[in-house]
Every structure is written in C-alpha cells, then in structure tokens.
Structure 1
Amino acid sequence: MARRAERLALPVGVVATFAILLVVFYYPVGSVLVAAVVRGGRLTLGPLADVLGDPFYTGMLAGTVRDPFGVPAGLGGWVRAGFPSVEFGLFGFTAWQAALSTVASVLVGLPGAYLLARYEFVGRRTLRSLTIVPFVLPSIMVAVGFLAMFGRNGLLNDLLSIVGLGPVGGVLFTLKAVVLAHAFYNAPLVTRLVTTAWESVDARRVESARSLGASRLRAFRDVVLPELVPAVLTAALLTFVFTFLSFPIVLALGGLQLATVEVWLYARVQDLALGEAATLGTIETVLSLSLTYLYLRYEARQVRSRGTTTLSRHRLSIGWRTLRDPVRVGLFAYGIVVVILFVGPLASMVVESLTGSGGLTTANYAFLARQQAATAVGTIRPLPAVRNSLLFGLGTLLLAVPMGVVVSVLAARGGRGSRIAETLMSAPLAVSGVVVGLGMLQTLVFGTTVAGHRLVASGPVAIVLAHAVAAYPFVSRNVTPALSGIDSRLLDSARSLGASRLRVLVDVELPLVAAAVLAGAAFAFAISIGEFDSTVLLSQGVNTYTMPVALERYIGNRSVGPSLGPATAMGTVLLLVTAASFLVIDRLGGRWQP
C-alpha cells in the first residue's frame, strides 16, 4: 500500500498543480477572454472591433478596422498632405514608452555588464547579487522613491541647493520619469543576462584571433560581439514585455495623463466598465503572449556553451593613474550615474521619511502610529498592512514552493514534459497581474456556480492564490537548473536499489538542491510581499490590504509636498521587509535566470 502511494504521489502532485493553475489562472484569465467575445450568450467580435476601431485606443490604425478597403486611399491622402504627424492611440503610446524604456535599460545595463565581466574589484560579487533587485523590490515602493528624489522638495534638489545649483524640475509626472523608473528596474536584468553571456565566451577563440593578427577591436567584433548579441536581444525583448505590462510605476508617476493599457484597464475596472476592461485585457494578453512566445522560440535557438577557458578579468583599482585611463574614467562616471539612478531613489525615500521642514524628525512615523489608533472608516492602518503582507507571504510559500518543485521535476525530465513545464512557467509571467486580478474578481470573488452550488473565494484566499500564481515560476526557475545539473548516475543507482521515483526525489534530489529550493522560497515570499497589480483589485478593506496597497493609498493625490511623508515612512517599512528577503536570497545564492 505504501509502495503504491509513493508511485502515485508525483502524478497526484502534477494533477494537483494543474488543477490549481486551471482554477486560479487559466479559468479566470479565460473568463476575461470569453467576456470579450461573448455577449448575451452569443459569440461576437463586436467588442474587439469596437476597441480596435476606436481612435482613442489605436489612433490612425483604427481606420484599418472600420474600413479596411479605404486604407490605400487614406495612405494616399496622408502622403499628399505632406506626411503630417499621426496618433497611434493608447496601444501605440504603451508600445512607445516600452520601446523608450527598453532602449534606456539597454544603454544603462550594458556598461554594467562590461564592468562585471571584464574587471575584478572589491565588492564585485555584491554588485552582481544586486542585479536580482528588480525581482525583489516592489515597484510601487520604487515609484515613491522617485517621487521623493525628483520632487520639488526632493533630495536631489536639496543637494543641488547646497552647491548653489538651481532646482531640477519638470521630471515628475512626465514620460522621462516613467522611462527612468523602468530603467531602474530593467537595466539590472540587461546587466545580468549580458554578463553571463560575456563570461561564457571562450578565451581561446579570442587568443586565436589575436594570434592571426586581429586587433583587440577586430577580435571583439568578430568573436565576442556575436556571443553577446543574442543576450542583448533577449534582454531587450524581455524588457519590452515587462515595460509594456508595467502598472504601478506608470500609475504613480504618470497617472491617467500618461495612461498605458494597464492603467486604463484598471481605471475601467474602478468605473465598473468590466466589459470594456475585459476587451482591453484580452487584446493586451494576446500581444504579451505573442511576444513571450517569440522570446521563448528565440531563446530555444540559442546554444549556450561555456568556454573551458574564460576571459580573464582586469584588476580595477582607483588612484591617480585612473585619471589617465579613459576606460576607468568612463567606468567611474558610469558609477556616478548608477548611484544617482539606483541608490538615489531608495536613499531619498528613507531620508525623506526622517526629515521635515525643521530637520530630522519622526513625525511621519508618528503619523503612522496615529493612523494605527484611528477608528474612522476608510483609515489605512499600517500594522494590519504589515500583518496581512506577512501572512499572505507565508500562505504563498505553502502553495508556490510545491507547485514550483513539481514543475521543475517535469522540466528536468526532458521531452514533452519539459515543453509542458516551460509553457506552464511562462504563461503567468506573460499575463498582466491586472488581467489575472480582473479574472479572479469576476470568477472567484464574485462567485462561480458549480453543480448548483455557489463557490466564492474570500479576499484573503483570492489574494494568496493570485500571489502563488505570480510566484511559483520564480521557484521553478531556481530549482530546474539545479535538478538538471544532478549527475544522473546517482539517480539511476538509487532506482536500481529499489527506490521509487518519489523516494529518489525526497532522499537524493531535494537534499542536493536544498539551497535552490530555499532561494526560490525566498523569491516567492518577496514576490508576494511586493505584489500590487492583482492585490489592488482583490483587496477588500482592512482584512486584505497589504503594504504595497497601503503605500499607494498614502501617495494620495501624488503630491510631492508634505503628504509624501507618510508614504515614504510606509515605503521604508516595506523596504526593510524586502531587504530581509533579499539578504536571504543572496545568502542562499539565488539562481533564477529569465
């Protein structure tokens, strides 16, 4: 009996994982897709045509939907008019800001990859560990940091006034602020991917090119650059997907004035225009899944084989000689940019939380304490937010870790199971959290009738389920490489001695990859702590709002004046919790790779 239970344990785990994904992800997201093409029980493309044919959404391309046969005449009229400027609507603006953010992220991230791959210096390992920060820091907290740094009374202007320079204005609530914040998030992703590719270049090929008379520049162009281009393109495509789906940063730094599809979708839900929101979510999901599919196909064609002899790193030292080396001067200047862009917002948030018009103060934290004691309806109290975030994080671990391990086992086996696991891992990453939240709101929170019974998932349950769906891919991405790297002879030996597949997993594989599992668990906890997209739709009052949701409420009217103080104080509390998660990930050696 026990033997049979062991044989069935893994298949049952796979079925349970599929069932959870079906109920929590595919069914809610599918309901959004169905709501966009079904009206009154009949299949129709009318809602999609209405959105795609509306100039507000698609700009000049709307005419191709309303009157496709009139496109040639329209193009002719545009040419005869002298090529006047055209509008591309909400989708066009979303793609435009994603493209600008991608370019900025690549430009900021590439020098960092060069620094990490080609130089050895004190703190290099720590700096490389910091490239996983985008997957840990809550984006709404980063937005508060940018408000605190670039505001009229922000830290940057305070520092400039000390040296007699005028204030910097016109940054906040503009496209520049959104692009900078996206670069904060995605430049480390570019650095991480390109550094890995650079470190995989076989030094013997470079030496062979140099021995045949190639200059250093020619050897780089002909040998190193072809190895880097796939990594750069992969990072650019991922960055475009992430910034196309960006929500909290645009909401806090742009609002409806710079609305992207995500922000407008959220606004439609707030206005209870759920049909229009479902149509927008459907179009956005199709676009993001298509881009993710292209990324997976492109990545699958790349053969990543690490050279047996890697490129040696140069020792990077700082001294008077540094001023005579243009490369070191450039890297030093890059370091200043990195400090301003990456350290500045977080430092500004902490400083602003502890300062006021009279200098150092704890007034902002005292305000949070008063909020905790307030009894007025609608008051956002900090301690319930902290408590909810921690409890939801623990609940997420209970679901996300087993799900991630099961998917990793499927992926590590290879064959069709590997392809299925790849699909399962990628879909939640490619679907907007707002779309997932909308789907869960329509199905689980509002209730679904099954066999005559009304099934309803309360706010906390729905939030934990949504967080688990968002977090388990990070567990599997940590565990899958570790499982795949285990010597198959160990597993074969255990099986030859009579151990079942479950026993081999529990007694041999999991102990060998325990660090990867723990790192994945830390990632899952950090993802849950910072998740905002679906949570802001699913939270229902004091029992469900989390730290990121409370932080967004404290931002209020997005003022950069005194009202930002409580937001920076709440953001600092969130930063401390997130930093603890990051330290765990760093100590355990986070292995997640996009």
Structure 2
Amino acid sequence: MIGKQPVRRFLEDSTVADWLERHALKLTALLSAGVLAVMLYFPVGIVFANAVFVDGVPTLEHFRAVLADPFYFGSLAAVFENPLAIGGHLGALVGWLGAISISLSLETPLPSLEVPLPWVSVQTPGVRGGLFGFTAYQAALSTIASLVLGLPAAYVLANYEFRGRQTIRSLTILPFVLPGIMVAVGFYAMFGQAGTLNSLLGAVGLGPYSFMQYSPLTIVIVAHAFYNAPLIARITVAAWESVDTRTVETARSLGASRRRAFLDVVVPQLLPAVFTGALLTFIFTFMTFPIVLALGGLELATVEVWIYDRMRRLDYAEAATLAILETILSLGLTYAYLRYESAQSGLSRAASSPGREKLFPDLRTALSPKRLAIVGYGVVALVVFVGPMVSLVIGGVTDSNGVTLRHYSFLLERQVEGADFQTQPYPAIRNSLLFGLGTLLIAVPMGVVVSVVTARAGQSGTIIDTLAMVPLAVSGVVFGIGLLQGLVFGISLPFGWQFQVTGAVAIVVAHAVAAYPFVTRNVSPLLSNLDPAMMESARALGASRTRALLDIELPLIASGIVAGAAFAFAISIGEFSSTVILAGGSETYTMPVALERYLGRRSGPAIAMGTILLLVTASSFVVIDRVGGRFER
C-alpha cells in the first residue's frame, strides 16, 4: 500500500504539476470523448446494430424492405426497388407533374396530400410520399409558417423602437426553454373544444368549433411555428442590425428607390440569416416528436413518432432501420448548417448599424397602411404566441362552470391517496429538479471542453463540432432506446463483470448528452472572440496556465457558461423523448412524463401540471435573459 506522504510529494512535484498543467486540456478532452463514446455513440450503435445484424450476421435486408415499402417512401419505393429502370421512373414523374391541379373548393378530395388550409387542396393522381415524404412535407410547411410569422417580427424589432421591445426580443429565446409537451398542452388549452378560443367565440354567439379534430395538421404546424418563428426572428434581427446603413444610403444617393435599395442591398445581407434559421427549423421539425405525439398521434405520425410506436411493439429491426435513415438525413442537414455557419462567422460586421424609428410617433402615422399591417400582425402574434401560454394558466384554474381549483386539488389528492403505480405530482417535480441539477454537473464541463477543443482545432474544428453536435441530429427516442437496450439492461464484460446504468443515472446521462451542445453553442462564440495576445501576455508576466485560465479566460466567457448552464437545466426539465422511454416507477418519471400521462386521461390536471412546468422553466429563461444566452451564430 502506498503511503500518503509519498503520494503528496509526487503530486506536489513541480515536474508532475507542470505535466498535468500542460496536458490538462488533452486529458479532459479524452475524458469527455470517453463519456460520449460510452453514453452516446455506443447506445446509438446498439440501436443501429438491430438494423444491420440478424443473429450476428450482417445483412441489408431490413433496408431493402423499408426502402421498397410504399408506406415509407411512397412512389419513390419503386425507384429504390428497381433503380435501373430510369426511363420508366422519369416518365411517371413527368406524368405526375403534368397532372397536378390546384382547386379552390371545399369539396375537392385529396387522395395523397393534405394542405392545411380549408379553402385550398392539391389533387395528385395517386402519388404518395409515404412516411418520410409526409415528415418532410410537414417540416417544409412548418418552416414556411415559421418564416411567415418570424420575419415580420424581425422587421419590427430591427427597425422600430417601442415600449417593451427589449422584453419581446428576449422572449425569442423561448423555443429552447419551453418543453415541447408543455407547448402541445398549451395549444390544447387554446384550441380545444373547451379551450380559450371557443370561450371567446361563445361570448359573441359563435362556436364551439372542433379545431383540433377539423384540421389537426394545421394545429401541429402552428405549434411548430410557435416554437421556431422566434428562433428565425432572433437570428434575422441580429443580421438586420448588422446591415451597414452607409451601403443603403449610397444606393439611395445613386437614384435607387427605397424598395429597390432594400431588395438590392439589405435582402442579400439578410438571406444568410434567413437560410440559417430555415435550415435549423427544418431539422427540428423533421425530427419532431412530443408535439405530434400529443396533438396528432399516429394519424399524423412522423418518422420519429413511428419509431417510438415500433419500439413499443418490440419491432426493433424496423425501428432501427428507420432510425438510421432518419439520422443520415438529419446529420447531413446538421453538417450543412455547421459548414454554412462557419463560413458566415468570418464576415465583417457593420460599421454603421441602422437606427430605429418610433413605431407610433403620432396618430396620423399610426393610421398609415404600414402601421396598420404591423398592428394586424400583432393581433396574429398574440393569438399564436401569447394565447397558448395564457390559456395554459387560465385552463388550470377554470372549467365549464367557471373559476375553480379542482384541477390542482386533484393533483394534491393524487399525491396523498395515490398508489405506487399512479403518477403523483410531487415525485415528478422533485425528480425534474434533481435531474436538472445532475445534468448541470455533467453537461457544463463537457460543453466547455468541447468549445475549447473546437476553438483550438483550426481547420478540423468543423468536423469536431459536427461530431460533438450529434445529439442534435440523433433523435431522443433513438437515444433513449439505445440506453435502455445497452446500459440499462447491462453490458457483459470479461471475467464475469457487468457494466450497468439504471434508474435516475440513466436519465441524467440522457439529459446531459442532450444538453451539452447548448453549452457549447453559448461558450464557443465567446472563445472565438478572445484575443490570444492576452493569454500570451499573462504567460510572459509569469502567470501559470491555470492562473491565466482562472484570471483571464474564465471571466471573459463566464456569461456564456452561465447561459449554457441555464440552457442545460431548461433542456433537462423539459426533456421528454428519451425520458418517456427510460422512466419507470415513481423514482424516475418527470414533470413532462407526468403531464403526458395526465393528458391521456384528464385534460384539466394535465393543464395544471403544465402550468407548474411553465413556472419552473420560466426561471431558466430569466437567467438566460440576464446573461445574454444565445444559440444562433
């Protein structure tokens, strides 16, 4: 046995201390890579192995079956089944394009595609996109809806000054704070049969209308726009404020009209930001899960929802095959986003940013067509963005008979009298908070280390960044299934050993892996802006690497670390995709899981639980807003 004194002398030896200091980044990077390998890549690999191995023998039979199945790929299935028949496929495509017609009729049937507007339908001659086609279709519609709602907000925030402008701009961070399942419940409280909108319509003698049943796809797309339009607005506002006004003034002085100067000078400078926001939105909505699961179910199943259903039916091979195909698509899109973001990060910022005029300087200006259009947009924004959250709060304290606290009373009664198999509110709240704290302990150090490695990697930084951002491209459902099949069930090791991660630890690991990319995205921009000369000067003056890190680097990136920590906590609180798979008894289910379980039985208690979840996540938003959290470039 080694004595304490020799160990202390060994650690205090200057040579050893210098070696540890010089190699600290490499050691922490290796440790982080090891954690990712065991906790992320290995579980995902287990899921993927279900698709390429049958009884230990590699095969592509599952891929052939899925690719050639019209249920999954529609008309493209024939292409995958017989890719050499190019002429026939092209002829069918030309005939399909020539047969498309647009009809402005409520009675026109829609055999293959559904446009979520009651007065427009698209009729095609039996051509179907399949599950993947529908997933891309709803993601494209959701992206368009997000652009339609987000770009006007960016225009107003970038060009006008008004009371509450800074607060509204701060609220554009909400998509990364609010849990998806809570947003779904908020839309249920807003557009449901007994929702706020029907109550308002009933006050003037209209309704009630079954919005949720009449056009559920429309509700899903609007919910996606609620989530992603603020993201597009946040990214575009930053780009708009960086437009150099001198270029606009030069164009005007050369005879260009205000409209021509905007189209030829301002729009080209905004397009990179718009494209970035649209690409992110498409990625997020292509991999959508809780919103579709809660509002659409299997009737509007996306690839993600169908994978979850296949796993529940123990069809692991088919689910794994779908997961691989989905991950390939999302990884490609994520890599394209990171490459594009890297290319745009080197562009210079404006030397002269545009000034903002008052939104309503006088009554005559307030009645101008432009200001009236802004007011009209404000009304739509109130319905889409404010309505669901206000309805969530109101729905928790009202029912068909008026104001009541019986929904919260039900939660208390369930807590006092509930059996072990029932979902109780206190364990859900307790678990969510504890899992959030545990997530911070893992996600924040990992996120900072990945940021430092990426910043110092030079040209290879984009590749490292892409590998580190895999959690954004791999679905939470796939990751949760991999953890369940691998680490939760246990891994057999040599000499009879077994490695197993169960219960709360597995959920914390899942949350940390999902959250650390947000820490990285908050810290990396600050690190890239640091002047290396400051560290070199400190070192030249005799400061050790550790002292220079503590006294110079960390204070300069502290706001990014705090914002990243708030993001990580909020992601953990709202994580649903992997948690719903891993959560078992009362020691592991969280508030989002409890909310989903209540929603399947009684909507009132679900709305009340959603209100509690809203209050908890609001604290994370306050922290992020105070320290300037970011996710955009």
Query: If the TM-score is normalised by the length of the shorter chain, which range does it land in?
Result: over 0.9
2:139 aligned to which of 98, 120, 137: 98
Deviates more, 1:208-217 or 1:369-378: 369-378
Aligned to 2:30: 15
Aligned to 1:479: 523
1:344 aligned to which of 373, 387, 391: 387
Aligned to 2:224: 182
2:622 maps to amino acid? L
Counterpart secondary structure, 2:221: helix
Rounded Cα–Cα distance in structure 2 between residues aligned with 1:305 and 1:332: 34
1:547 maps to amino acid? M
Change (3 A) 1:281 1:390: same
After superposition, residues 388-537 of structure 1 pair within 5 angstroms as: 388-416=431-459, 418-451=461-494, 452-537=496-581
Rounded Cα–Cα distance in structure 1 between residues aligned with 2:456 and 2:380: 44
1:181-220 deviations in Å (ceiling 9; x for gaps): 0000000111011111111111111111111111111111
1:191 maps to amino acid? A
Deviates more, 1:484-493 or 1:220-229: 484-493
Quote the offset at 1:26 in angstroms: 1.2
Change (3 A) 1:465 1:315: same
Change (3 A) 1:318 1:576: farther
Aligned to 2:20: 5
- Cα contact 1:522–1:585 (8 A) shared by 2: yes
Counterpart secondary structure, 1:228: helix
- Cα contact 1:425–1:476 (8 A) shared by 2: no
Counterpart secondary structure, 2:498: strand
Rounded Cα–Cα distance in structure 1 between residues aligned with 2:197 and 2:283: 31
Change (3 A) 1:31 1:214: same
Aligned to 2:103: none
Rounded Cα–Cα distance in structure 2 between residues aligned with 1:342 and 1:25: 34
Change (3 A) 1:66 1:340: same
After superposition, residues 365-380 of structure 1 pair within 5 angstroms as: 365-380=408-423
1:242 partnered with 2:257: no
1:86 partnered with 2:157: no
Aligned to 2:257: 215
Deviates more, 1:363-372 or 1:84-93: 84-93
Rounded Cα–Cα distance in structure 2 between residues aligned with 1:51 and 1:116: 46
Aligned to 1:40: 55
Deviates more, 1:249-258 or 1:424-433: 424-433
| TM-score of the pair, normalised by structure 2 | 0.90
Quote the offset at 1:459 in angstroms: 2.1
Rounded Cα–Cα distance in structure 1 between residues aligned with 2:380 and 2:430: 37
- Cα contact 1:141–1:571 (8 A) shared by 2: yes
Aligned to 2:349: 306
- Cα contact 1:322–1:329 (8 A) shared by 2: no
| TM-score of the pair, normalised by structure 1 | 0.96
1:59-99 deviations in Å (ceiling 9; x for gaps): 11111222334453355467679842311111111010001
- Cα contact 2:235–2:277 (8 A) shared by 1: yes
Quote the offset at 1:299 in angstroms: 2.7
1:451-480 deviations in Å (ceiling 9; x for gaps): 242211102111111111111111111111
Rounded Cα–Cα distance in structure 1 between residues aligned with 2:502 and 2:439: 15
User: Gaps spanning 5+ residues in structure 1: where?
Assistant: 558-562
Counterpart secondary structure, 1:503: helix
Deviates more, 1:368-377 or 1:473-482: 368-377
Rounded Cα–Cα distance in structure 2 between residues aligned with 1:146 and 1:360: 20
Quote the offset at 1:503 in angstroms: 3.0
Quote the offset at 1:177 in angstroms: 0.8
1:213-266 deviations in Å (ceiling 9; x for gaps): 111111111110100111111111111110000000000000001101000100
1:580 aligned to which of 599, 619, 623: 619
Quote the offset at 1:497 in angstroms: 2.7
Q: Which has the higher contact order (CA 8 A, sep 6+)?
A: 1
1:568 partnered with 2:607: yes
Rounded Cα–Cα distance in structure 1 between residues aligned with 2:93 and 2:534: 69
Deviates more, 1:306-315 or 1:28-37: 28-37
Rounded Cα–Cα distance in structure 2 between residues aligned with 1:578 and 1:126: 17
2:53 maps to amino acid? V
Quote the offset at 1:415 in angstroms: 0.8
1:156 partnered with 2:213: no
Aligned to 1:199: 241
Deviates more, 1:523-532 or 1:421-430: 421-430
- Cα contact 1:396–1:468 (8 A) shared by 2: yes
Deviates more, 1:479-488 or 1:297-306: 297-306
- Cα contact 2:420–2:586 (8 A) shared by 1: no
Quote the offset at 1:532 in angstroms: 0.5
Quote the offset at 1:378 in angstroms: 2.2
Quote the offset at 1:107 in angstroms: 0.6
- Cα contact 1:140–1:532 (8 A) shared by 2: yes
1:107 partnered with 2:148: yes
1:136 partnered with 2:177: yes
Rounded Cα–Cα distance in structure 2 between residues aligned with 1:287 and 1:295: 12
Change (3 A) 1:295 1:513: closer
- Cα contact 2:360–2:366 (8 A) shared by 1: no
Counterpart secondary structure, 1:513: helix
Deviates more, 1:403-412 or 1:499-508: 499-508
Rounded Cα–Cα distance in structure 2 between residues aligned with 1:241 and 1:151: 28
Q: Sequence identity of aligned pairs in percent?
A: 59
Aligned to 1:560: none
1:198 maps to amino acid? W
Change (3 A) 1:224 1:441: same
1:42 maps to amino acid? V
Quote the offset at 1:319 in angstroms: 5.3
Aligned to 1:116: 157
Counterpart secondary structure, 2:364: helix
1:526 maps to amino acid? A
Rounded Cα–Cα distance in structure 2 between residues aligned with 1:345 and 1:478: 28
Aligned to 2:7: none
- Cα contact 1:265–1:280 (8 A) shared by 2: yes
Count of residue pairs the alignment pairs up: 589
Aligned to 2:274: 232
- Cα contact 2:290–2:576 (8 A) shared by 1: yes
Rounded Cα–Cα distance in structure 2 between residues aligned with 1:78 and 1:86: 9
1:286 maps to amino acid? I
Quote the offset at 1:306 in angstroms: 1.2
- RMSD of aligned residue pairs (Cα, Å): 1.8
2:315 aligned to which of 258, 268, 273: 273
Quote the offset at 1:591 in angstroms: 2.9
1:95-116 deviations in Å (ceiling 9; x for gaps): 1000100000001000001011
1:555 partnered with 2:555: no
Change (3 A) 1:298 1:482: closer
Rounded Cα–Cα distance in structure 2 between residues aligned with 1:569 and 1:441: 30
Rounded Cα–Cα distance in structure 1 between residues aligned with 2:92 and 2:351: 61
Rounded Cα–Cα distance in structure 2 between residues aligned with 1:350 and 1:584: 22
Counterpart secondary structure, 2:352: coil
2:312 maps to amino acid? Q
Deviates more, 1:108-117 or 1:285-294: 285-294
1:128 maps to amino acid? R
1:61 partnered with 2:76: yes
User: Gaps spanning 5+ residues in structure 2: where?
Assistant: 1-12, 100-124
- Cα contact 2:193–2:208 (8 A) shared by 1: yes
Counterpart secondary structure, 1:111: helix
Rounded Cα–Cα distance in structure 2 between residues aligned with 1:298 and 1:486: 22
- Cα contact 1:91–1:261 (8 A) shared by 2: yes
Counterpart secondary structure, 2:74: helix
Quote the offset at 1:151 in angstroms: 0.8
Aligned to 2:304: 262
